[in-house]
A and B are shown apart, each in its own frame.
Chain A
Amino acid sequence: MPRPNHGPAGGQNYEKAKDFKGAIKRLFSELNTYKTLIVIAFTLAILGSVLSILAPNRLSDLTDEISAGLVINQNNMEILTKKATENLSEDKLKELLPEILKPNFSEENIQNIMQDKNISNQDKQKLGEILSNIEKNSEESFKTLAELPDSILEKIFTETTYEGKTVTSKDKITLLKMDKENKNLNLSQTLQEILFKEVTIDKIKVSSSDQYKFVKTLSTLDKNEGEENIYKTLDTLPKSVREVIEPVMNISKIKSITLLLVCMYLASALFTYIQSICMTDVANKFANNLRSRISIKINKLPLKYFDKHQVGDILSRITNDVDMIAQSMNQSLASLVSSITLFLGSIIMMFVTNWILAITAIVSSLIGFIGMAAILRKSQKYFIQRQTELGNLNGHIEEIYSGLNVVKTYNGKTEASQKFDEYNEKVCQSNKKSQFLSGLMQPIMAFIGNFGYVAVCIVGAMLTMNGQISFGVIVAFMTYVRLFTNPLSQIAQAMTSLQSTAAASERVFDFIDEPEMSSQKDITKHLDRENVKGYIDFENVVFKYDGNENPTIKDFTAHAKPGQKIAIVGPTGAGKTTMVNLLMKFYDINSGDIKIDGVSTKELTRENIHELFTMVLQDTWLFEGSIKENIIYNQKNISDDKVREVCKEVGLDHFIRTLSKGYDTILSDNESVSAGQRQLLTIARGMIQETPFLILDEATSNVDTRTEELVQSAMDKLTEGKTSFIIAHRLSTIKNADLILVMKEGNIIEQGSHNELMKQNGFYASLYNSQFEQ
């Protein structure tokens, strides 16, 4: 079946609507019924997008909080340093030293030193000098003392006690010689205890020895060393000190941010879920509604519509087009809304946060998008080309496969192969191009994202250095870049699908809007099936098909009396079915009148006329359903016995009962019911109707002869007591007809009984004689 609007599976549909705006407008006006759901869905989509825009900021807050845990606690570090070095400051030392050192400058002691033979004269002289100055400047005195050799100092600084602790002379010498910068500090336990007083910072006690280690480590630190090494050295500090200076994370804040984010994500997920459920609901109910309307419409259209439109075309509206609309409503519409929100929202947020970065982000992504648009346009061209080439190829394949016997016997295989190769190669070439180009989209998108990221980072870093923005702004922008670039491609995608949707809905609504059959509201007359006598009068009937130049039936007059047999003959395509169409009021006549029992068919409803006629057509129309359903077809109060009775009459009963499920056997295409049996089934269906009039299209010759006889006798039974119109294919059966209408090229050219027509020696006679010609 041709499906003109459908590419091969998975292929993109690039069809465009004739009037895009109009089609979309119409679509939305049709969607009015589902307004509430759509509004809910759109609101949720927007809310979800807003959350997506807000969430990154919280996430960067979280990062900030965590990164706060990387830097040492400067505050505590300062306090500790201050406390620890308190006693080491010069002023403090000046105060403390004399008390701790308690030098022994007594005469006796000096004397002893001077007389000591182990001390060189030079040293003794120095001591003398120092001693002479000592009174003048006590401040300098200790320093100068330090220049003396240990042998002398040992004697000056003898072991004493300070604050109850014994200070040895060795300790004193160390203290005396202590570097101002506290470098190469090497204090004994006693000295440590004296110099560093235990402190408590943030409830952590730092012992004197820990402080000593801290000060000592700090003094050895080289500021120019790498950060990592510094941290490594710091990690060797005593536990108490580490605890004091270690970085602190605000765990409770981290917890609360995480909790907030979890809530946001959950809310966003929930919104998305509810939104898509709403849209699914709308899409499917709308599709259901459209399908149902098309199905109803089919039965309201005048038959002439179907003369011009193919079944496949209408079917494709019911399935492909409606599917397309449903799909795009389900997927594209809400995503379009949220994409636009995301897009606009991120732009607003960017400009609110920092306009320079905003411009950077937009410009850098835009460059990429211009490139992408160019590729998109090109790939679209190749896609269309691919579709056409594929269409050609498929057409060729279809042609060759369905005519394969002819191709084979006419030695056309080589030619077919050559043509196939040609088409195949063309498809292959355009395939390569279109697939390559469409495959580029994803990587380009990724590149644009990365490019924007770097651009924002660089410009952001510059601004940070100038102190214009904080680091958090950059982190926020990194996510804005992503939020900004992603929806653009989604919008592009949604727009393409909206194009196809517009085209699809245009086709669907075109069909739904087709003019229907004329209204029957004003008709009041009604003929009862039981009371109709069976007269039919054609009075000066003129009928012309739409689009035809000449009327098919010109000024036709004939009268049929109850029980008469009227035969319609003529070559195929002569318009015999036109008579059926007019009798059944499938078409309205242009002028003249057709009367049933003297009542004009114009004054009767179509349904009323149909009630009066039994129609058995040549193309045996059966539907997928049980045999019984097919026979009873839409008739009320038909008993099973009646069905069997009718089947017996047409000679089907035996056959039906040989089937495994009898009358409940489901008829489908592959069932072993022959063409003749199908014909008999339709006759049985007609028999059950019991109407005053009959229209009968005789069986084709494609039925085998035995069945044909059966069908023939069944048909004869059917005509009993009815005014019958018979479309005849075999001239033998119509010779006894009361009236023969001879049609040629759509016109009734002769009418009369067999004998009359033979006498006329016109078309009928030549037709009749032709079957005996040599």
Chain B
Amino acid sequence: MLKLIKNLTKRELLYALFCVILIVGQVWLELKIPDYMSEITVLVQTEGSKMSDIILNGGYMILCALGSLIFAAGAGYFAAYIASEFSKNTRKKIFDKVQNLDTEEIKEFQTSSLITRTTNDVTQIEMLIAMGLQLLVKAPITAVWAITKILNKGWQWSAVTGVAVLILLGVITTLMIIVIPRFKLVQKLIDKINGLARENLTGIRVVRAFNAEKYQEDKFDKTNNDLTNLQLFNQKKFAIMMPVMYLIMYGLTLSIYFIGAGLIQNSLLADKITLFGNMIVFSSYAMQVIMSFLMLAMIFMIVPRADVSAKRINEVLDTKQKIIPGTFDGKTEEKGTVEFKNVSFKYPDADEYVLENISFKVNQGETIAFIGSTGSGKSTLINLVPRFYDATEGEVLIDGVNVKDYKFEALNNKLGYVPQKAVMFAGTVNYNISYGDNGKGEKSQTKIEEAAKVAQASEFIEKMDDKYETHIAHGGTNVSGGQKQRLAIARAIARDPEIYIFDDSFSALDYKTDAVLRKELKNYTKNATSLIVAQRIGTIMNADKIVVLDSGKCVGMGTHKELLKTCDVYKQIALSQLSKEELENA
């Protein structure tokens, strides 16, 4: 937490100082109010006091109240400023960090977790700062100040107040100890309830097909009852809190009065009035002390939550970027060549290699395909080209230059990458196709439409309400999977890259579209090199070169026909998908 707070700028720290000063002023004025209050009380009580005195003191009191309001507003302004700026800057830091995180780390954190870290976790800390700056500063100041004000006014009263504070803290601590572990359990049960309902919803057909409605409901009811019982336990324990607070506060007032009565009774005449005044003042200060301890207790309830958030944020911020850009600006004689030289790859902590000793070369205009079972390393292999990962051993060369030497932008300008799961951005179709920067300036509308046409997307785009200006929703929820995939392919085409990377990008397309698209693409990009990862034999059997991977090793390389004869693994894959005659027909 402190580590994050160190990130506050000088200006914010200065504002924090202002905030503290204002709060001190606010506390000062607030603690003056009881003085005037008792002054007014005495004035009203004594016969023959002047109206003007009452009005004067009343005026002072209102001034104090107004002053404390103004100070509080000021402090609130600064606190809001600091909290908002802080959360803005922290969010920015995390966002920048995440944008530069390596794929491996993102996998480790998981995208959803990174999102919560950037949003909810930051909000948690923002709240703590906004509240903490005011309460955390105010409560101790008030407590200490009020205590010093009343300390010499009668040890009996101080003792009672001390006891009250102890009881208060005792009750809160006991409750915390009993309830907090159960609170965590509540969260788990809520997740479980959610999980069970989700399970029922996602498997609704299966549930019904098995006539298992009752089975599911019973499961749900069990957890539901567990949750309810736990909640009841927690909340019933917590129900003690309010009445106890109430009793402590009023009990304390009563005790102070009762002790006061005794003290006054046994004192000298001259001291009685002072004692009475002290009693009234003491009781109102004692309330302030109790209230501030209550506030402190509240803060200690939110601090642990914010602390967890801070830790999660720091985890992201402390992650070191391992993939460092080079300096080469990308101007090469050679165009469209991709070469792997004895490339091996393993995850840093893993023992096993994901890829072992892979070597191949493709030239401009050629298509190379990678096939193999899941976990054979084909996706990892092409991920080495855009440097989602860096090869552990060996070199990956693009246009004869090691990818590690390129500036990121220069490398990316050569590539057109289409992931397995199409990514859509909120915006128009135009925006989605022309997305990004290829170092060749803005893409023209003709270019976009051409790309859409090649990607077999123009047909459905034309059918949309606003055609190329149609809005695509967040995550592309208003287009089908196949349409998304075609838009993603169009996006790559619009980039005019030297090298296409298709990471299983055709699986969402039906056979026919798949075939037509690849044919059109081939015609359109005669000079571009294609790297294709696929599951379907049909998709790749016309590639210039097919690399067959098995457990990270290259077990075969060649054309479809060659491989059918030479490579057992390839043959197996082919047979599982096409019948013998089909293979022969081809």
Contacts and interface: CB of A to CB of B under 8 A. Distances in A.
Contact of B69 (A262, A444, A674): A444
Interface stretch (B167-175, B272-280, B337-345, B462-470): B272-280
Interface stretch (A354-362, A407-415, A544-552): A407-415
Contact of B265 (A63, A69, A262, A610): A69
B522 to A, nearest CB: 9
Interface in B32-48: 33, 37, 40-41, 43-45
A16 B261 CA distance: 54
A617 interface: yes
A261 B542 CA distance: 94
Contacts of B106: 401, 404
Given A405-B103, A443-B72, A774 B236 contact: no
Given A268-B246, A409-B386, A410-B412, A431 B80 contact: yes
B118 A397 contact: yes
A461 B272 contact: no
A767 B87 contact: no
A132 interface: no
Interface in A277-305: 277, 280-281, 283-285, 287-288, 291-292, 294-296, 298-299, 303
B111 A292 contact: no
A395 interface: yes
Contacts of B376: 704
A285 B111 contact: no
A721 B209 CA distance: 20
Given A299-B207, A440-B76, 18 more contacts: A227-B273, A265-B250, A298-B200, A299-B200, A399-B425, A404-B98, A407-B99, A420-B95, A427-B84, A431-B126, A435-B83, A436-B81, A439-B134, A457-B41, A461-B51, A572-B481, A634-B211, A702-B535
B254 A262 contact: yes
B455 to A, nearest CB: 15
B178 interface: no
Given A235-B268, A299-B216, A411-B412, A735 B579 contact: yes
A634 B495 CA distance: 54
A471 interface: yes
Given A268-B246, A408-B408, A705-B373, A767 B512 contact: yes
Interface in A11-33: 11
A435 B44 CA distance: 40
B96 interface: yes
Interface string B61-93: 110111011001100110111011101100110
B159 to A, nearest CB: 18
B123 interface: yes
B224 interface: yes
B265 A615 contact: no
A205 B243 CA distance: 51
Contacts of A607: 211
B244 interface: yes
Interface stretch (A144-152, A312-320, A555-563): A312-320
A315 B198 contact: yes
Contacts of B83: 431, 435
Contacts of B280: 63
Given A400-B99, A453-B37, A773-B515, A277 B239 contact: yes
B123 A454 contact: no
B446 interface: no
Nearest to B77: A436
Given A311-B201, A427-B88, A770-B511, A403 B423 contact: yes
Given A401-B114, A410-B435, A701-B535, A266 B247 contact: yes
Nearest to A439: B76
Q: How large is the interface on B (under 10, 10 to 19, 20 to 34, 35 or more residues)?
A: 35 or more
B96 A417 contact: yes
B199 interface: yes
B37 to A, nearest CB: 7
Contact of A284 (B51, B235, B250, B386): B235
Contact of A464 (B44, B61, B207): B44
Given A394-B115, A435-B80, A634-B212, A251 B261 contact: yes
A398 to B, nearest CB: 5
A70 interface: yes
Interface stretch (B4-12, B359-367, B570-578): B570-578
Contacts of B217: 292, 295-296, 299
A376 interface: no
Given A70-B276, A404-B98, A571-B510, A462 B51 contact: yes
B134 to A, nearest CB: 7
A494 B210 CA distance: 46
Interface stretch (B141-149, B225-233, B349-357): B225-233
Given A262-B254, A287-B228, A771-B515, A615 B270 contact: no
Contact of B439 (A55, A311, A411): A411
Contacts of A572: 480-482, 508, 510
A235 B269 contact: yes
15 contacts: A251-B261, A258-B254, A295-B220, A306-B204, A315-B198, A394-B115, A395-B474, A411-B438, A417-B99, A420-B95, A427-B88, A436-B77, A436-B81, A462-B51, A572-B510
B381 interface: no
A501 interface: no
B55 to A, nearest CB: 6
B375 A273 contact: no
B405 interface: no
B493 to A, nearest CB: 12
B225 to A, nearest CB: 7
B87 A295 contact: no
Contacts of B68: 443, 446-447
Given A8-B119, A732-B577, A410 B200 contact: no
Given A431-B84, A770-B511, A412 B436 contact: yes
B228 A458 contact: no
A412 B297 CA distance: 47
Interface stretch (B150-158, B187-195, B390-398): B187-195
A49 B64 CA distance: 31
B264 A249 contact: yes
Given A254-B258, A451-B62, A571-B512, A414 B437 contact: yes
Interface in B533-586: 535-536, 538, 542, 572-573, 576-579, 582, 585-586
A445 B115 CA distance: 38
Given A8-B123, A70-B276, A457-B58, A254 B412 contact: no
A678 interface: no
Nearest to B495: A410
A485 to B, nearest CB: 13
A127 interface: no
Contact of A732 (B488, B513, B578): B578
Interface stretch (A114-122, A177-185, A645-653, A706-714): A706-714
Given A412-B436, A446-B68, A454-B62, A311 B198 contact: yes
A364 to B, nearest CB: 10
A9 B124 contact: yes
Contact of A432 (B84, B265, B538): B84
B92 A421 contact: yes
B294 interface: no
A43 interface: no
Interface string A449-477: 01101100110111011000001001100
A509 to B, nearest CB: 17
A8 B491 contact: no
Contacts of B96: 417
Contact of B197 (A72, A314, A399): A314
A239 B210 CA distance: 99
B115 A398 contact: yes
A443 B65 CA distance: 9
Nearest to A265: B250
A538 interface: no
Interface string A692-707: 0000000001111111
